[in-house]
Every structure is written in structure tokens, then in C-alpha cells.
Chain A
Amino acid sequence: MAKLKSFGDLETLKKSITGKRDPKKSVIAICNGTGCQAYGCKSVTAAFQDEVKKQNLADKVDVMPIGCPGFCERGTLVMVRPQGIFYQRVRPKDVPEVVAAIGKNSVVDRLLFTDRQTGAKVTHESDVPFYKKQRRLIIGNNGLIDSTSIDDYLAIGGYNALAKALKMKPEQIIDEVKKSGLRGRGGAGFPTGSKWETTRNAHDEVKYIIANADEGDPGAFMDRALVEGNPHSVLEGMIIGAYAIGSHQGYMYIRNEYPLAVKNMRTAIQMAEEYGLLGKNILGTGFDFTLKIQRGGGAFICGESTALMASLEGKVGEPRAKYVHTSEQGLWGKPTNLNNVETWANVPIIINNGAAWYSQIGTKGSKGTKIFSLVGNITNTGLVEVPMGTTLKEIVFDIGGGIPKGRKFKAVQTGGPSGGVIPESMLDMPVDYDELTKAGSMMGSGGMIVMDDKTCMVDMARYYTEFLEGESCGKCLPCREGLRHMKAILTGITEGRGKKEDIALLEEICATIGDAALCQLGASAPNPVISTIRHFRAEYEAHINEHKCPAGVCKIGAAAVK
């Protein structure tokens, strides 16, 4: 394919792609995300390819592997379009029947989703309760494209935003992003437009931009789904950002535990380069931008901005104090703009639809949608994209389908190891940056771990503390030593060796770490402990005073009970 040298070339290419597609042809879209791989989606895909040939339907039906559409609980997911039929839990042996049904214009009943509340079968994707209350601006496209095909992305309007942005002035783009109210999806919720502006205005010719795809929160996989399932949307956002900021070199830091994401992003970059959407003189505008992938090494701290940049420089991933912001002096001492994957993926949507449109979605201080990874003791595990301000209750019960096995809801942890637990009494809370912070937790990157009544809150606090102790880089003392002591105390409590003064001691250590740690890993590490003490103090007391674990999780040995 020849490089695109102008906006006109892009238009012509798009027309030729859509012109070649036969709208009457059915498409069998099969999830090939990491989640469905564990269900054997690869053999399902292969079976469909064989079967379509066998039943002589190759000129009527296309088979398309797609990225994760979110409902991983029911994998392997198969959608038949344009009919919009939604099949779940599809195994290779089901394939001949599904293909035959397409030929006959019928539906395979037993593979349809059953609405647990009404007991009725749901035929269409749009009627599945899990999807109904969502607003899938970003993740929705995963289901429509083969992520390894740039043509698929172009066919759904991909790179339109880039063409539009390249006709704007950089300052106009920044202004648009500022007006949209977009805030960072990776952790702290910093206003994206202002960050871009700082980097743009920093006094240095060379500037870098980075996408943070380290996704360290264990139990969160939104970014995995985006990078795997729609890598071009992230790329497009980054190219627009680079142009607005005045950067010509970007990096994507991807978690090594996500091999498929790395692979798909590599393919995407290569294809964008071949089309001239990345590289020198993009679309003939004279703007140059190249992008490199770097893999992480399995360290949670490397998601933190300064540690990530150290790691990008080939050093140990230790953070530094941020007297000088990375937007002034970051990678190799140059002004650097770091954004989360989902933040970047929001950019094309804002440019395409305008800030005014975008800022209608969400709450006063938090605009747009947010993808959450709804996991743990929940009926419908998966990725959920909702407008900011949706209540926890809607997310957990209406979309998530509540708690399985007839158990009761106990709490939900947001913000990963840096966040806190939110108890039942606060379920009506609208979810946005500010409300979550007020509740003693945080948005974080969007992990939502649902816990039922068989979950021990002291054990959860111990779990997070142990995780963070293991991931602490060891550079500053409060975090290194403080977490070690907290873990020892919490382990003692869960093993029946708790002392009366332990709770007060924990609170004291928490306050010190919170004040004195060098980076946010340490400073936010007390959150799970403080929040479980605040909302579930009685559980701590039962362990300490009565040597009992009310949830029945901790193995409090008989020896400890004296």
C-alpha cells in the first residue's frame, strides 16, 4: 500500500475500503481477547472458518476475530451481524449449528443469554441487560473491528479525528481538550488539557509523549482490552496529542503480562506506518511522529510516572520526588507528557464530536464515560463503560447482576491497592473522581472488586498491604519499613495473635506513611487499611478480642486461642 500523502488520499482510501465491503454479507464476530482465550476462542474461530467453507457460505458470511467487548464472564462470545444476534459460552462443537442457522435465517436458542431476573432468552446484543445501561463510547468499537486490520478501523471512521485535528492549530486542540473537561483515567484524575499545555509551553525543543499501558492494578483489565481490541484508537489519540504538544517521539509502556496487547499494538504501529499515519510527514502536513513500544518487567511501581520514565531510560524503576514536574523535566530530562491508555482513547472522540457534546456526559467535575473492570464476587464479570456519575448500585446490581451464589454484598474496592473499600451503606453514591475521594477511596484506573459476605476485611487489608510491601521499590524508608510492620501486624491479627493496641498502632503508622512517603505508592498505601478499619472495625475487633474471623476466611489456629 502506498503512503497517504494528503487528506484527499485518506478520503479516497476510505471510500475504496467501504466500497469493497458488501453490506448484505453477514459477519460472525468472535471475541479473541485474552479472557476468551482461556475459554478456547482460538479453536472456536478456526471452527467457524472451516464450517463456513464446508457449508458453502463463504460468499455470504465473513468470519471476524474481534477484541474484548467486555462481557468476559460469558465467553467465548459470538455476535452475528447485521442481525445483531448474541451468542454466549460458544464451544467448537456448537459451531456447525450456528453457521447452519445463519444460512436458514434462524437462531440457536440454547446459546442465547438468559436474563436471570425474568428467565427470558435474549436474542439481540442490544437487549442484553449487561450492556443496556452502559454507554460504550470507547469499548463499544472493540466488537466492531478486527484489531489487526487498520482497514476495519478506517471503515468505522477511524483517523477522521486525526485529519480534523491536523487542520486545527495545536492551541485550538488543547483548548478543545480543556473545554471537554477530560481528566486522566490512570489514577489521579489530572485535567488532561492543562497537562498538555504545560508540556507544550515548556522551554525545550525536544518533547516526549508516553502512553501508560502498565495497568498495574491487579484485577483491572480495561487498558488490556483497549490495546488488544482497538489499538488504533489509542494511536490516533496519541498522534493528535503529539501534534498538539509539539512532540515527535512517543513511547508506549506496556505490561509484559499482556503478550497479546504487545503483539496487536506492534501490528497496529506497523500498519499505521505503512499508511503514513505515523512517521515522517504525516498525511503530507509536514508533521513527524514516531512511536516505540517498550515492555515492562512486572513491577507495579513502574506505573508511577517518574518510575516509568526511569524504566524507559533502561534503569531500575524507582520514583523520584516531583519538585519539578515531568511535564517540565521527564524522560531524559525533557518535557514529557504521560497519559493513561484510556485517556488517549478519549481524545479522538472529543475531536470528532466537539467539547460541547462531550462535556454534556458525566457530572460537574468529571466528564465523559469511564470503563470499570467489574470483578470478584459478581455475577456478570467484565468491563463496564458508564457515564461518570452512575451510582455504584447501578453498576453492581443492574449491570453486574448482583452477587452470585445467593450471598450478600459486603463491599466494593475501587482504585486498586491505592483505593479503599466502600460499604453497602454508600451504594447510592454517584461514581466520579470527587465522590470517590470524599469516600476515602479513589477512582484509580477503574478496578472494581466486589466482595461478598464471605470475604474477610482484615484479610483484604492484609492482602493489599502484602502486595504493596512486595511492590515497594525500597527507596524511601516510610514505605519500605512502614508497610513491613503493617503487614506483620495485620498477619498477626489474621492468625489470632492480634493485640488490643494494634488498631491504634496501625492508624498511627498509616498516618506517618501517608505523610512521609516519597511517592504515591506509599502515600496511598494506607487507604485499604484505613478504610477497612473505618467501615469494618467490628471485624478487626472480633479477630483481636474473640479470636474469630466472622467471614470464616482466616485460619485462626487453636493455639492462638488462650
Chain B
Amino acid sequence: MADKKQKEVVKQVLQKHQHDKALLVDVLQDIQAEIGYLPKEVLVETSKGLGVPVSRVYSVATFFKAFSLTPRGRNLINVCMGTACHVRGSVKVLEQIEKELKIKAGETTPDLKYTLETVNCVGSCALGPMVIVGEDYHGEMTPEKVVSVLANYK
């Protein structure tokens, strides 16, 4: 069962979108923004609230890269792997972060401090390689800068 807070979030988000089935992707985006990820119970709750099968909610939640079914860390790190960032060395930046945090892309540190993910272009290609932590954009990243940037996020 979804706990009270989760239920409330689902209820509010569904209300905001007027229980429009077509807005499933938007609904899940907003729920995830509140809860941080999409626990199973929340998917069930969403399915009930919208009147669409759980299977459909699940397939949408697993199809799109933006959704996570497991808890994520307090700080979400997105390393841009888009082409512009790639040719400017984003692979080396990602490798350095992986080494520093001892996790791979797609994983979360055991203390739930960081989740490391990759993204394909955030539209700031001029400043590549881009690393986005939470809502902060860090441009012109290098492996050397990784430690000092991460230190800002506790």
C-alpha cells in the first residue's frame, strides 16, 4: 500500500492534470518530482486513479529514461553524453565521477547521497562537457574539476 504522503501526492497530481489519461507521462513526471522516484505502490495508485491498467503505467514508467523505479539519492548528477559533449571528452568526466563515487551510471551511492545518471543533451552544448547536479549546470567540465564540483553537494 502506498503510504499517506504518497497517496496525497498522487491525488494532487491527478487533480492538477484533471485525470486526463493522455497525460500519463506528465503525471508520472510530476509524481517523481515530488517523491524522487516511482515506487510500485505509487504506480498502482496512479493506475487506479486514472483508470488505466497497471501494466500500461508500468510499461510507460519503464520505457522512458526519465523515470526511476528505485530510490534515488539526494543529489541527482546527470552527465551529458550528447554528441557535442562526447567529442569534447564527456566519457572521461563520467569515468572520473564513477571512480570518485564508486558507482556506475544508473546507480545510487549506498548512503543515498548521490545518484549518477547520463542524459543525451540538455541544450547547453556550447559549454560541453556538461554536468548537471540538481538544477545547477556545470559547464566545461574536466576530470580534474570533478572533486571540487561534487564537494558542493552534501
Contacts and interface: CB of A to CB of B under 8 A. Distances in A.
Contact of B64 (A75, A298, A313, A464): A298
B66 A314 contact: no
A261 B63 CA distance: 23
A217 B28 CA distance: 24
Given A37-B137, A221-B121, A449-B83, 7 more contacts: A39-B127, A219-B82, A257-B120, A296-B25, A315-B56, A375-B83, A375-B125
Contacts of A460: 87
A416 B25 CA distance: 25
Given A297-B25, A314-B21, A316-B63, A221 B87 contact: no
B59 interface: yes
Nearest to B67: A297
Nearest to B24: A314
A51 interface: no
Interface in B2-25: 21-25
Nearest to B21: A314
A267 interface: no
A37 B21 contact: no
A463 B86 contact: yes
Given A38-B137, A218-B81, A298-B64, A373 B87 contact: no
B50 to A, nearest CB: 8
B52 interface: yes
A547 interface: no
Interface in B32-75: 52, 56, 59-60, 63-67
Contacts of B119: 257, 298
A449 B87 contact: yes
A373 B64 contact: no
A399 to B, nearest CB: 14
A377 B82 CA distance: 14
A449 B82 CA distance: 11
Interface string B110-122: 0000000001111
Give the size range of B's interface with the partner: 35 or more
Contact of B25 (A314, A449, A473): A314
Contacts of A221: 121, 123-125
B126 interface: yes
A138 interface: no
B104 interface: no
B81 A38 contact: no
Nearest to B120: A218
B83 A38 contact: no
Contacts of A315: 24, 56, 60
Interface string A511-551: 00000000000000000000000000000000000000000
Nearest to B25: A297
Interface in A187-215: 215
Which interface residue of B64, B122, B126 has the most chain A CB atoms within 10 A?
B126
A39 B22 CA distance: 37
A218 B83 contact: yes
A198 B125 CA distance: 37
Contacts of B66: 256, 296-298
Contacts of A447: 83
Contact of B125 (A219, A311, A312, A464): A219
A375 B130 CA distance: 13
Nearest to B137: A38
